[in-house]
Structure 1
């Protein structure tokens, strides 16, 4: 996509990705190219399907046990992935660059203490004074650190403490759209000259009873066995534990320090369709794909969730585009805030290697292949928000 003279090239120079398929971008790519079947767990949280995080040695990126203990799982996953991205970009432990590295994080709320919640609810059912009991139990059972851990910006805080990233910091909440806007802001600041280098991404822990309960109350969860997300009559959301971070920087800054690009981020768009209007979501996705000005060697990496309404509507636009399509959730599961950064990570890898991983058998939308020069990453939130980005060879 052509850049105007006022906008600078933005390079992706580091990728940190951990998922159910592996640790690091190369391990994930090897699993994708090898046709590894989706790694799912349909037993632990039966009947709901989740993609569990690969076993990680957190000491490698979070050396202090005290730091690990005060983080919830989603924060540990994110801090770990952020460290991988900094290492890949060659700026880990470089205090001078890290002090100027801006950070934009997409994050949800903290995790509940399910045991405490269950105990309080059980006692409330038999209490003659439920209001007083609730106040007493909240004061005695909830640790102050638990309340603090609910704050979404603690992931950015932990990354700053553990890895020394001390430039500006922003945190976005809002499920899939928060991931889109986090990348959009990081990209826009660098492209406009307001920033030189940034760390952007998110994390999600799918192995949580509280979020599964939240989603199943709206009948969003995938149940029984895993099915491709574009299956007829959307199969539900296969939640996936993941951490995905990217180092973005201006081409001039990267060249000055001798860093090579993995790919170029050429545009990021965030929208919101009026989903109450028939066909609005399909039209919006088509508009986003059109903004990327698809040319030879263009493919689509879809961050579709698998949820009702949204995913079938996205499927219509993807089929109409005539472009080769791959669904991120078919491999990694759906990571909500982290899904769009994860899609960008896979897009950058596909562009840098010039190839696309095989289709998943049974998915009617995943088609095509061939050489890859450009990748459009689409993201349609499971109940609101649409976005897209264009990744090209640098």
Structure 2
């Protein structure tokens, strides 16, 4: 590593609101915003009201985006503004963590109603016919995951290299890891040393809720914090959120007079099979080897609430307490903003950066244990 990486801009939107101050206040004792009725029996953390015109001024651009794309594009603009980097977008690298596009639930419901009373062979034939004739050809283009990056490029003029990663929580962790590695190794295009990285997720989607429910991972009934859910068998409460970070080499930031929010230390990722000895807890313990933890470090926990990974994270943190320096407070951010899948890790990095900037701890260890697969650790330090 030839240069350190600073976070110089944060674009953060969640059910708590937008921007660093709203989330800094929530860390100091805020209350979650929950919708228990709109998608019952599954509680979610909903989107806040946003003035999209502030970051996406053209109505035509807004209309052609799906909600998660609008949310991500909005948060990306917030990050660029927070970093004072509007004049640097032509050299800015862009790495996005994205999921799939939204389904046409009205069409899905109509097809299901038609085939419900048919024999299986007729139902299969009708399904193919309706999907072939009912979906607009342009819908497939609107669902492409890399369109979030495309919209950020169009709306905000970010025209450095562009990459989109898929893979739920792991996509975001690897996006941050690779962005930081490219900057510190000095391989950035044209001598630029600045990147925009993040993701977005909208929880109010029946298609995603039903997918998670089918795997038995969603929490049903009144909202409860992660600890209470874990004690009752576990379950996700998903949250609508977008988080983008402007990452910048220290030398580049100092040269332009930028103020760093926090230093991004090591970012490490793994993908345990979660069977036998190859467990999430073991993978995280291996990632933690050699991390320069200092006494009193805080933990910004990405615990999802899903039973197995949340239990694995608890075991991992207990092991750190026993073997390492004194551990400070542990904050489970899903209690405040829910689990935001592709946006979860960058959102937790943002919260960790705000915590160390405020002097709450010398360091923040940010964890990410994916609901199904993927482990990640990152260390934030005060500048």
When the two structures are superposed, what TM-score results if normalisation uses the length of structure 2? 0.93
SS at match of 1:391: strand
Distance 1:233 1:168 in 2: 46
For 1:347-386, what aligned pairs fall within 5 Å after superposition?
347-355=352-360, 372-386=361-375
Alpha-carbon shift at residue 192 of structure 1 (Å): 0.7
Q: In the aligned structure 2, how far is the partner of 1:135 from the partner of 1:316?
A: 47
**Residue 180 of structure 2: aligned partner:** 187
Conservation of the 8 A alpha-carbon contact between 1:102 and 1:199: yes
Kindly report which structure 2 residues correspond to 1:194-273, keeping only aligned pairs within 5 A, or say none: 194-195=187-188, 196-231=193-228, 232-273=231-272
1:110 aligns with 2:115: no
Equivalent-residue separation in structure 2 for 1:275 and 1:307 (angstroms) = 14
User: Which position in structure 2 is the counterpart of 1:61?
Assistant: 55
Shift, 1:135, TM fit: 4.2
Aligned partner of 2:16 in structure 1 is 21
Residue deviations 1:258-316, cap 9 Å, x none?
A: 11110111111011223111582222223333442211331111111110211111111
Higher helix share: 2
1:151 aligns with 2:144: yes
Pick from 160, 170, 178 the counterpart of residue 177 of structure 1. 170
Deviates more, 1:297-306 or 1:196-205: 297-306
**How many positions carry a matched residue from both structures?**
369
SS at match of 1:230: helix
Partners of 1:169 and 1:373 lie apart in 2 by 33
Which residue of the partner structure matches residue 324 of structure 2?
none
Q: TM-score, normalised on structure 1? A: 0.90
Distance in 2 between residues matched to 1:109 and 1:193, nearest whole Å: 32
Choose from 118, 127, 130 the match for 1:137.
130
Aligned-partner SS, 2:248: strand
CA distance in 1, matches of 2:124, 2:164: 34
Cα offset for 1:25? 1.4
Q: CA deviation at 1:133?
A: 3.5
| Other-structure match for 2:338 | 333
Q: Distance in 1 between matches of 2:247 and 2:208?
A: 30
Give 1:125 shift: 3.2
Q: What's the Cα RMSD here?
A: 1.6
Gaps of 5+ in 1: 1-5, 356-371
Unmatched runs of 5 consecutive residues or more in structure 2: 322-326
8 Å CA contact 2:26, 2:336 repeated in 1:
no
